[in-house]
Amino acid sequence: RAATLSVVPVEFVQVLITNIMGGRRNNSLIELCMDAFGCRVLQRMLESAHPGDRGVIIDAIMSSPRDLMALCEDKYGNYIVQHILNHFPEQYSMILMDMLDDKLLKMARNKFCSYVLEVLYKRGGRDVENRND
């Protein structure tokens, strides 16, 4: 099953964008992120998507502080946020900090959120480190 996910065709990315995100149904995308299989598919899609398509997907995932927090707290959704931070830290670390700045203490107390924070502080660079000085 894992071998099947090693490469996601570009056409599949386009289908996701059209069918799930085209109607601005971000709830469907967030639900997909919180599904065991959907989370893996989205991670592969983020790796193989055209940069413009990748940006559309990530922007939709990170468009709502409430949805972003829900993903960080979720047992599968946190992997999507970690994946974004691991692969694109310079673009998204400070965005995540800005969106969830007032929730960092709450996040540190949550098992899955703490994993996201660990990646954020490891990969986010000096701006993230200096943010709490």
- Give the three-state DSSP class for 24: coil
Return the residue matching tokens 């990170």: 62
Residue 49: pLDDT band by 50, 70, 90 thresholds?
A: confident
CA–CA dist 66, 70 (Å, integer): 6
The answer on pLDDT for 18 being more than 50 is: yes
CA–CA dist 82, 132 (Å, integer): 20
Q: What is the pTM of this model?
A: 0.83
Structure confidence by residue, pLDDT tens digits, 60-117 = 899 899 999 999 999 999 999 999 999 998 889 999 999 998 998 999 999 999 999 9
Residue 2: pLDDT band by 50, 70, 90 thresholds?
A: very low
- Please list the alpha-helical segments (H only) found in 1-88: 10-16, 26-33, 36-48, 51-61, 65-73, 77-87
The answer on pLDDT for 17 being more than 80 is: no
Nearest to 42 by CA among 55, 33, 31: 33
Of all residues in the chain, what percent carry a pLDDT higher than 90?
Answer: 47
Residue 3: pLDDT band by 50, 70, 90 thresholds?
A: very low
Q: How far is CA 71 from CA 2, 31, 35, 131, in A?
A: 22, 9, 11, 23
CB atoms within 10 A of CB 89: 18
Nearest to 117 by CA among 66, 91, 101, 87: 101
pLDDT at 127: 78
48 or 105, higher pLDDT: 105
CB 47 within 8 A of CB 11: no
